[in-house]
Structure 1
Amino acid sequence: MNTARLRRLGRRLVELSMSTSDEGKPMFTPGEEAVFEDVLRHPGSTVGEIRARTGFAQSHVSASVARMRERGLLATEPDPDDGRRTRVRVPDTTVQALFRRATTPVTEVVRRAVPDEADAERAVTLLTELEALLVTDGD
């Protein structure tokens, strides 16, 4: 395997993981995903704080937060210390939905991608081995 094939494999694995989302469409755009992950790691952040950590323009962060808030993926509330600022957090319902999605076994997704049952089982076994080798607790 070379770097180009590794990248193709990585993209294919991302496609398969995204296909587990509701209605087969991704939950986030790539920009929204970066903003969401930042809010998940830093609950109660302001748009300015998210902008500083992600490197996105403030307008991009504000628009992403607004879209995700409309879809119920993020919640906002006024900053108790400064009413002009807004604090952003991930609601518990979103965390629970993400947990359910993240803990869904990949067997069915792999079976759809690899029609031969024996090959699909082997693919799941290999993915499990790769996870053990390449994904650390800190990831």
Structure 2
Amino acid sequence: MSAVELFLLGRTLMKIGEEALPAPEAAGEGAAAQGARAVLIALSDITAHPGSAVGEIARRTGLPQSQVSTAVARLKKAGSVVTSPDPDDGRRLLVRPAEEVSERVARVRATRIESALAAALGTADAAALSEVTAALEVLARHLPPGALANLRP
């Protein structure tokens, strides 16, 4: 597999994932997809590194600080994260997952990919769906979100 093929596969998988996600209640279609990426990336990092400042999340994820700030604001409004002042620097806020899972997070976590995957494959053939799903599970096991940290100096 070439780097280009891997890049295009990654883009395809991302688009299938976006299609599978339940739409936010009050967002424009394009804004929802753009925002969902940043929100999911930020929430994954916040879960892995609770008590981080926005700048730290931006550094680890490679997202611009403005996108992380917007994602944190959306997550806070949805009840998925809480913020508190940094005791060492009152100008910064530290972000951590909320104690209770919000309704939105529960709905997103419960969403399955089968219908979006079937649409992308152009078939509802159970054997094909099973084979691709199994391959995706192997990839997810070996390449979790934290693996990206290995690529950054």
Residues 68 and 74 in structure 1, CA contact (< 8 A), matched pair in contact too: yes
CA distance in 2 between partners of 1:131 and 1:38 (Å): 21
Equivalence for 2:131? 126
How many residues are aligned here? 135
Is residue 36 of structure 1 aligned with residue 46 of structure 2?
no
Change over 3 Å in CA distance of 1:65–1:55 after alignment to 2 = same
Equivalence for 2:9? 9
Change over 3 Å in CA distance of 1:128–1:57 after alignment to 2 = closer
Residues 83 and 94 in structure 2, CA contact (< 8 A), matched pair in contact too: yes
Q: Return structure 1 stretches of 4+ with deviation > 6 angstroms.
A: none
Letter in 2 for 1:8: L
TM-score when normalising by structure 1: 0.65
CA RMSD of aligned residues (A): 3.5
Residues 93-125 of structure 1: CA distance to partner in whole angstroms, max 9, x if unpaired?
24x74455345332222233344433xx23312
The structure having more radius of gyration, on CA atoms, is 1
Write the mapping of 1:80-119 to structure 2, written as runs, cut at 5 A.
81-82=87-88, 84=90, 85-91=92-98, 92-94=100-102, 97-98=104-105, 100-118=107-125
Equivalence for 2:82? 75
Any idea what SS the aligned residue of 2:131 has? helix
Residues 49-72 of structure 1: CA distance to partner in whole angstroms, max 9, x if unpaired?
334534566555444433443454
Q: Sequence identity of aligned pairs in percent?
A: 29
Equivalence for 1:136? 141
Letter in 2 for 1:123: A
CA distance in 1 between partners of 2:78 and 2:85 (Å): 19
